[in-house]
Amino acid sequence: MGTIETIRYAAVELTGSRSSGRRSYVRRLVQVVTSFVRWIDSLLDRRRSRLVLLEMTDTQLKDIGISRCDAHREGLRPFWD
């Protein structure tokens, strides 16, 4: 059983007036974690694409209109930038 299912089952088992408050808390927590994971994924994707620029040949760079110097500069940027 995954973490998300565990959280869902825990939210379903809750009863009473506090139940909806806990469910909304769990729902918000899941949204925050999902958002964080997507943000990290976008940072890693950006880093991968910059590393690909460093591996391209001069002909490939010319096809996309980037000089070797520009590719090198972009490829060495940190992933958070």
Residue 80 lies in a domain: no
Residue 81 lies in a domain: no
Task: Report yes or no: 79 and 46 within 8 Å, Cβ to Cβ.
Answer: yes
d(CA 77, CA 49): 11
Instruction: Give whole-number Cα distances, 8 to 1, 5, 29, 38, 74, in Å.
Output: 11, 5, 12, 21, 43
The 10s digit of each residue's pLDDT in 26-77 is 999 999 999 999 999 999 999 999 999 999 999 999 999 999 999 999 999 9
Residue 28 lies in a domain: yes
Residue 36 lies in a domain: yes
Residue 8 lies in a domain: yes
Residues 42/45/46/49 CA torsion (nearest 10 deg): -160
pLDDT greater than 60 at residue 15:
no
> Whole domain around residue 16: which residue ranges?
3-75
The number of distinct structural domains making up the chain is 1
Residue 67 lies in a domain: yes
Q: Can you give the pTM of this predicted structure?
A: 0.60
Residue 54 lies in a domain: yes
